[in-house]
Chain A
Amino acid sequence: MSSPDERVAANVAQWTLTNAEYTDEQAERTWRRDELVWGVFSVPDEWIGDVTGLDVVELGCGTAFESARLARKGARVVGVDPTPAQLATARRMMEAVGPEFPLVEAPAENVPLPDDSFDLAVSGYGASLWADPRKWLPEAARLLRPGGRLLFLTTSPLAHLCMPDSDDVPITNTLQRPQFAPWEVEWEGYQGVEYHVSHGDWIRVLRESGFVLDALHELQAPEGARRHEYYNVIAPTWARRWPGEDLWEVHLR
């Protein structure tokens, strides 16, 4: 298994590629949308609440379109991401679309921002999938003020278990791999390292990092949902029956 630094480097390489292939050209569209939504089926947010005047950090912001939407709703946002190419796209969008807010180039495992400086931390397929929970959750706890909230979305353990090895094939109805396995997952033909964590392990690391559990939302694809044009592994028919994505809602003691 590679070292932590090598895993961060692998994810920077992966997202440089994904940005060239997809997220850069999508940025204009994603930055111009205003609604807060979660995941590949764009489930409307019901959980973030009023962010007016809140200090918000997005961990693994990518092209920072989610941060832009939060900033428009009155939050003081900081976007954190380790991939220079994605941050360059975000900066271009700040000029083209706006608004402007600070961006910090760093992995969520080690964020050069002061303790107790945020009221809310969010991550949608950011740190939540691409950073080591044993490191980014303590970092999120350090960055948040007491009582501060963390909301993050990632692939559900069940979807991970049912995914075929090759991403040319859609998700299956059969367990393809054991749950008792290392969290680090490297897919064939893919440079990045993902972290897939069971519910029991999420709860343990969240608690050890000082978080209190408020809710787990196992997201169901909305009726009539269409397959995502790019992140297309999870079929909407599957996600009507089983949760493809989990949204964890916690707060710091």
Chain B
Amino acid sequence: MSELDSITANIAEWTETNKQFTDANAKRAWDHEGILWGVFSIPEEQVGALPDVNGLDVVELGCGTAYFGSWLARRGARVTGVDPTPAQLATARRMMQETGIDFPLVEAPAEKVPLPDASFDLAVSEYGACLWADPYQWVPEAARLLRPGGLLVFLLNGTLVYLCAPPGEEDTVGTKLLRDQFGMYRIQWEGATGIEYHLSHSDWIKVLRENGFEIEALHELRPHPEAVDPTYYDYVTVEWAQKWPAEEIWVARKRA
């Protein structure tokens, strides 16, 4: 399968997911005022992955219904949302009308973004491009879009989730290593339409370095013990995520 096939497959996957969940959930997500990370809704104040975004030019790569972008726009960022799935962008536009928070949306995959070089101070991706686009194409695009000294911040699953996730969607992540780490890259889960990209930490560091980024942090997230188990993205429990990092945030800065 070529990279183009994963773009098409992921548009189909997210058109369906939007119908099932993200469209209906968009109002709740957009109405939230704080910045939350991941399936356990960990507040940014507890993580400290983002700079003060007021006045920054921000691109969200794989924005979906663009709720994350809306949280940054509320804090004074000039946001542009980029996503390849028309259905999710339609939901985002409806939310813009309802909330009055308005920013440009661009229909494109993160592998090839029709925006000029060096036009952003911050690129973010929350389970967006970083999970659904080919890292060997979207990381160079992020580097191109950022100004020198610009920051890239993205959240995705921890490596242990990839290694320990059951093949289908019927079960939650356990403690047995079910697949090899060497060779991890692309995966289509049983019964899924979409194609995900998972890299080892060493490969993330390598692809980021090769594209001119310096690694600033890897935040391995741990939910509050009283957090609630996710109801839709229910592949992992609070109990598991209390012991091992289910989600992690990379922070990398484009060399000046």
Interface residues of A, Cβ cutoff 8 Å to B: 158, 161-162, 173-175, 178-180, 198-201, 203-204, 207, 212-218, 220, 240-243, 246
Instruction: State whether the Cβ of B147 lies closer than 8 Å to any Cβ in chain A.
Output: no
The answer on a CB contact under 8 Å between B181 and A242 is yes
The answer on a CB contact under 8 Å between B244 and A200 is no
A165 CB to nearest B CB, Å: 15
Instruction: State whether the Cβ of B231 lies closer than 8 Å to any Cβ in chain A.
Output: no
The one of A179, A204, A218 that contacts B245, using a Cβ cutoff of 8 Å: A179
User: Closest residue of chain B to A243, judged by CB?
Assistant: B181
With a cutoff of 8 Å between Cβ atoms, the chain B residues found around residue A240 in the complex are 182
The answer on a CB contact under 8 Å between A180 and B202 is no
With a cutoff of 8 Å between Cβ atoms, the chain A residues found around residue B206 in the complex are 215
With a cutoff of 8 Å between Cβ atoms, the chain A residues found around residue B245 in the complex are 179-180, 198, 200
The answer on a CB contact under 8 Å between B180 and A218 is no
With a cutoff of 8 Å between Cβ atoms, the chain A residues found around residue B182 in the complex are 220, 240-243
With a cutoff of 8 Å between Cβ atoms, the chain A residues found around residue B244 in the complex are 161, 175, 178-180
Leading 9 A-B pairs by shortest Cβ distance: A178-B243, A200-B220, A200-B218, A175-B175, A241-B180, A216-B202, A218-B202, A213-B215, A242-B181
The one of A174, A180, A203, A241 that contacts B222, using a Cβ cutoff of 8 Å: A180
Instruction: State whether the Cβ of B101 lies closer than 8 Å to any Cβ in chain A.
Output: no
CA distance A243 to B202 in the complex (A): 10
Instruction: State whether the Cβ of B4 lies closer than 8 Å to any Cβ in chain A.
Output: no
With a cutoff of 8 Å between Cβ atoms, the chain B residues found around residue A220 in the complex are 182
With a cutoff of 8 Å between Cβ atoms, the chain B residues found around residue A204 in the complex are 217
CA distance A173 to B164 in the complex (A): 10
* CB-contacts of B155-210 with A (<8 A): 159-160, 163-164, 175-177, 180-182, 200-202, 205-206, 209
CA distance A43 to B163 in the complex (A): 24
Instruction: State whether the Cβ of B214 lies closer than 8 Å to any Cβ in chain A.
Output: yes
User: Closest residue of chain B to A220, judged by CB?
Assistant: B182
CA distance A179 to B244 in the complex (A): 5
The answer on a CB contact under 8 Å between B181 and A203 is no
Supposing A174-B176, A203-B215, A241-B180 touch, asked if A218 and B200 sit within 8 A by C-beta, the answer is yes
CA distance A174 to B164 in the complex (A): 9
A243 CB to nearest B CB, Å: 6
Instruction: State whether the Cβ of B248 lies closer than 8 Å to any Cβ in chain A.
Output: yes
B202 CB to nearest A CB, Å: 4
The answer on a CB contact under 8 Å between A199 and B201 is yes
CA distance A198 to B158 in the complex (A): 12
The answer on a CB contact under 8 Å between B209 and A214 is yes
Kindly name the residue among B201, B206, B214, B244 whose own CB sees the greatest number of chain A CB atoms within 10 A: B201
User: Closest residue of chain A to B222, judged by CB?
Assistant: A180
Instruction: State whether the Cβ of B98 lies closer than 8 Å to any Cβ in chain A.
Output: no
25 A-B contacts, Cβ less than 8 Å apart? A158-B160, A158-B163, A161-B160, A174-B175, A174-B177, A175-B160, A175-B164, A175-B177, A175-B244, A179-B160, A179-B220, A198-B220, A199-B218, A199-B220, A200-B218, A200-B220, A200-B245, A200-B248, A214-B209, A215-B209, A220-B182, A241-B177, A241-B180, A242-B182, A246-B202
User: Closest residue of chain B to A216, judged by CB?
Assistant: B202
CA distance A199 to B250 in the complex (A): 11
| 17 further A-B pairs in the complex, CB-CB below 8 A; given A213-B205, A242-B163 | A161-B160, A162-B177, A173-B177, A174-B175, A174-B177, A175-B243, A175-B244, A178-B244, A179-B243, A199-B218, A199-B220, A203-B217, A203-B218, A215-B202, A216-B202, A218-B202, A246-B202
The answer on a CB contact under 8 Å between B216 and A207 is yes
With a cutoff of 8 Å between Cβ atoms, the chain A residues found around residue B218 in the complex are 199-200, 203
